[in-house]
């Protein structure tokens, strides 16, 4: 089968379409004939050599995909999944390919009314936002969420989910156009971080109280500013590192605010945890997609052979929402 491989770490140009062995489903797994795969920041980190795949995962990138089940391995619960089912899945890797195998517990049906190609952009962002903002971050209705990178795939899902579940949202973005895009998704306030101070904006929006949860995709110097913007009892959820300088944390302020700073990744978690997250996403997020209260936000779709161009699009930060690779 065809897959996009990374022969050596480097810039987008290293991505190469190559023939690799077609996977066979093992115990508890299904095989998906891939329609489309979603791009994520972790794919860029893997390509650069900073985020190797976990043991047992394919060497090529791709943390989410949509497609059709074409084989069911042994020990999959009878009746759970069948050949021909239209699905999407959270993957430990390998989505940039014509076929992928995955544990049956990480598979989701394509929500009613959602295009199968666009569904490829749902599993990773939905699982990341639900687990960090609503599970570990414990955002409750009425509490305020600060989302960095609000126009990204993660950001666009976080804004919509928080808005749909009754929380005010403040988003940061890199231009007036992106800020307007965030407001269109349901953000109550949007800050152009290139020209405005998001800490001051949070304080103004909350009458000085601060935000209850921060979803941070930057790290570095942002962490200290997140803490400044945080309400007493607030939670900072750090899920990516774009600024690789060490973060300086005022421990006195952290303690006086009784705040929590937590870092997480998704694919390194034990399988049972990821299966539990996917089950929660199906219970809580999928009905909102079926009703139209939340929708996939797609920036662009590239052919599999143009994976390098898709990566360059993501690295440019010009995108609004998810970037996808069309496989079949």
Mean pLDDT of the 285-290 span: 98
Angle at 292 between CA 288 and CA 295, to 5 degrees: 85
Looking at residue 247, what is its pLDDT? 87
C-beta atoms surrounding 213 within 10 Å: 27
Looking at residue 244, what is its pLDDT? 80
Q: What is the pLDDT of residues 81-120, one digit of tens each?
A: 999 999 999 999 999 999 999 999 999 999 999 999 999 9
* Contact by Cβ (8 Å): 304, 4: yes
Looking at residue 4, what is its pLDDT? 98
The token pair that represents 184 in the structure block? 């269109």
- Residue 321 backbone class (left: φ over 0; alpha: ψ -120 to 50; beta: rest): left
Per-residue exposure over 243-275, b if at least 16 CB sit within 10 Å of its own CB, e if not: eeeebeeeeeeeeebebbbeeeebbebeeeebb
**What is the C-alpha to C-alpha distance for residues 43 and 256, in angstroms, rounded to an integer?**
38
Q: What is the dihedral of CA 219, 311, 37, 33, to 10 degrees?
A: -140
Mean pLDDT of the 72-84 span: 96
Q: What is the DSSP letter of 97?
A: B
Count Cα neighbours of 267 within 13 Å in the Cβ-side half-sphere: 29
* CA-wise closest residue to 168 among 137, 222, 129, 210: 210
Looking at residue 17, what is its pLDDT? 98
Confidence grade of residue 148 (pLDDT, cut at 50, 70, 90): very high
Q: Which CATH class is domain 2-125+267-326?
A: alpha beta
Instruction: State the average pLDDT for the chain.
Output: 96
* Domain ranges across the chain: 2-125+267-326, 137-263
Least confidently predicted of 116-120, 195-199, 239-243, 297-301: 239-243
Looking at residue 242, what is its pLDDT? 83
Q: What is the pLDDT of residues 8-50, one digit of tens each?
A: 999 999 999 999 999 999 999 999 999 999 999 999 999 999 9
Residue 243 has pLDDT above 90, yes or no: no
Classify strands 16-19 and 2-5 as parallel, antiparallel or unpaired.
antiparallel
Mean pLDDT of the 292-296 span: 97
- Residue 320 backbone class (left: φ over 0; alpha: ψ -120 to 50; beta: rest): beta
Q: Is CATH 3.60.21.10 the right assignment for the domain spanning 137-263?
A: no
Tokens 């920041």 locate to: 41
Residue 245 has pLDDT above 90, yes or no: no
Partner residues linked to 145 by β-bridges: 169, 213
Residue 246 has pLDDT above 90, yes or no: no
| C-alpha distances out from residue 290 to 117, 119, 207, 285, Å | 16, 12, 36, 9
């Amino acid at each position: 089968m065809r897959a996009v491989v990374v022969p050596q770490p480097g810039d987008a140009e290293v991505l190469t379409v190559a023939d690799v062995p077609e996977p066979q489903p093992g115990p508890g797994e299904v095989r998906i004939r891939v329609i489309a795969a979603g791009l994520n920041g972790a794919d860029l980190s893997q390509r650069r050599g900073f985020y190797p795949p976990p043991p047992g995962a394919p060497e090529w990138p791709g943390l989410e995909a949509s497609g059709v089940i074409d084989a069911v391995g042994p020990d999959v619960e009878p009746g759970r999944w069948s050949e021909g089912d239209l699905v999407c899945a959270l993957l430990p890797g390998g989505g940039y390919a014509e076929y992928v195998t995955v544990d049956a517990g990480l598979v989701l049906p394509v929500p009613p009314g959602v295009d199968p190609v666009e569904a490829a952009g749902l599993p990773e962002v939905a699982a990341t936002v639900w687990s960090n903002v609503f599970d570990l971050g414990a955002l409750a209705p009425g509490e305020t969420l600060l989302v960095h990178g609000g126009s990204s795939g993660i950001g666009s899902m976080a804004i919509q989910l928080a808005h749909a579940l009754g929380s005010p949202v403040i988003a940061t973005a890199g231009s007036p156009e992106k800020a307007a895009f965030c407001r269109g998704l349901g953000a109550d306030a949007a800050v152009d971080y290139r020209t405005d101070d998001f800490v001051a904006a949070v304080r103004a929006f909350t009458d000085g109280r601060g935000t209850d949860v921060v979803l941070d995709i930057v790290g570095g110097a942002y962490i200290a500013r997140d803490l400044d913007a945080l309400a007493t009892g607030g939670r900072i959820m750090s899920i990516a590192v774009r600024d690789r300088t060490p973060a300086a944390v005022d421990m006195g302020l952290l303690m006086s605010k009784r705040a929590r700073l937590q870092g997480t990744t998704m694919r390194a978690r034990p399988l049972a945890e990821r299966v539990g997250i996917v089950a929660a996403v199906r219970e809580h997020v999928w009905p909102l997609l079926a009703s139209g209260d939340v929708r996939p936000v797609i920036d662009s779709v590239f052919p599999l052979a143009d994976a390098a161009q898709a990566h360059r699009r993501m690295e440019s930060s010009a995108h609004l929402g998810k970037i996808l690779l069309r496989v079949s």
